[in-house]
Amino acid sequence: MIDVLEKARATIAAHSLAARDAAVLLMVSGGSDSTALAYLGAALRDAGDVGPVAMLHVNHQLRADDADGDEHFVQQLADLLHIPLFICSIDIAAEAARSRENVEAVARRERYLAANEALRSMCQHEGCPLSEARIFTAHTADDRIENFYMRSIVGTGPGGFRSMRYENGPVVRPLLDTTRDQLRAYLAAREAAGEPMACDEMGNLWREDATNAHTDRFRAYVRHKVVPPCREWNETLPEVLTRSMNLIADEDDMLQRMADQLAEDVAVWVAEDDTFGVDRSEGFRLLPAFGEAERPLQRRAVLGLLQAMLGPDARVDAASVEAVLAGFAEGKPRGGYVANIQYDLAVSANKQGVLVEPMAYFRARRKRDKEKAAS
Q: State yes or no: 34 annotated in a binding site.
A: yes
* Structural domain count of the chain: 2
Cα–Cα distance between 237 and 148 in angstroms, integer? 12
**Same-domain check for residues 325 and 195:** no
Does 213 lie in the same domain as 296? Answer: no
Please report the pLDDT score of residue 263 as a whole number.
96
Say if 261 falls within a structural domain: no
Same domain membership, residue 279 and residue 225: no
* Average pLDDT for 144-165: 91
Same domain? For 237 and 290 the reply is no
Question: Is there a domain that residue 104 lies in?
Answer: yes
30 marked among binding-site residues: yes
Lowest mean pLDDT among 14-18, 295-299, 366-370: 366-370
Q: Are residues 322 and 185 in the same domain?
A: no
Residue 152 known to bind ligand:
no
The pLDDT score that the predictor gives to residue 177 is: 95
Flag whether 254 is in a domain. no
Percentage with pLDDT > 90 across the chain:
76
The mean pLDDT of 172-192, rounded to a whole number, is 96
Kindly state whether residue 255 falls inside one of the protein's structural domains: no
Tell me if 249 is assigned to some domain: no
Residues 95 and 33 in one domain: yes
**SS (HEC) of the chain:** CCCHHHHHHHHHHHCCCCCCCCCEEEECCCCHHHHHHHHHHHHHHHCCCCCCEEEEEEECCCCHHHHHHHHHHHHHHHHHHCCCEEEEECCHHHHHHHHCCCHHHHHHHHHHHHHHHHHHHHHHHHCCCHHHCEEECCCCHHHHHHHHHHHHHHCCCCCHHHCCCCEECCEECCCCCCCHHHHHHHHHHHHHCCCCCCCCCCCCCCCCCHHHHCCCCHHHHHHHHHHHHHHHHCCCHHHHHHHHHHHHHHHHHHHHHHHHHHHHHHEEECCCECCCECCHHHCEEECHHHHHCCHHHHHHHHHHHHHHHHCCCCCCCHHHHHHHHCCEECCEECCCCEEEEHHHEEEEEECCEEEEEEHHHHHHHHHHHHHHHHC
For the entire predicted model, the pTM comes to 0.85
Q: Is residue 219 part of a domain?
A: yes
Per the DSSP assignment, residues forming a β-bridge with 118 are none
Confidence of residue 275 (pLDDT cuts 50, 70, 90): low
- What percentage of residues in the chain have a pLDDT greater than 70? 97
Q: Is 123 in the same domain as 225? A: yes
Shared-domain flag, residues 116 and 176: yes
What rounded mean pLDDT belongs to the chain? 92
The mean per-residue pLDDT over the stretch 301-321 comes to: 91
Q: Is the pLDDT confidence value at 372 over 90?
A: no
Q: Quick one: 215 and 348 in the same domain?
A: no
Domain with 26 in it: what CATH number?
3.40.50.620
Question: How large is the average pLDDT for residues 214-224?
Answer: 85
Q: Tell whether residue 31 is among the known ligand binding residues.
A: yes
Residue 15 lies in a domain: yes
Q: Do both 89 and 227 map to the same domain?
A: yes
- For residue 312, the domain's CATH number is 3.30.465
Environment class of 81 (CB within 10 Å of its CB; exposed 0-12, middle 13-18, buried 19+): buried
CA-closest candidate to residue 306, choices 296, 293, 321: 321
* 136, part of any domain: yes
- Listed range (70-79, 148-157, 266-275) with the worst mean pLDDT: 266-275
Would strands 171-172 and 267-269 be described as parallel, antiparallel, or unpaired? Answer: unpaired
Mind listing the pLDDT tens digit for each residue in 38-60? 999 999 999 999 999 999 999 88
Q: How far apart are CA 218 and CA 196, in angstroms?
A: 36
pLDDT score of 1: 65
Q: Which pLDDT score, from 0 to 100, does residue 40 have?
A: 98
Whether 304 has a binding-site annotation, put simply, is: no
197 shares its domain with 100: yes
Q: Which domain holds residue 310?
A: 270-374
Establish whether 33 is an annotated binding residue. yes
Same domain, 204 and 282: no
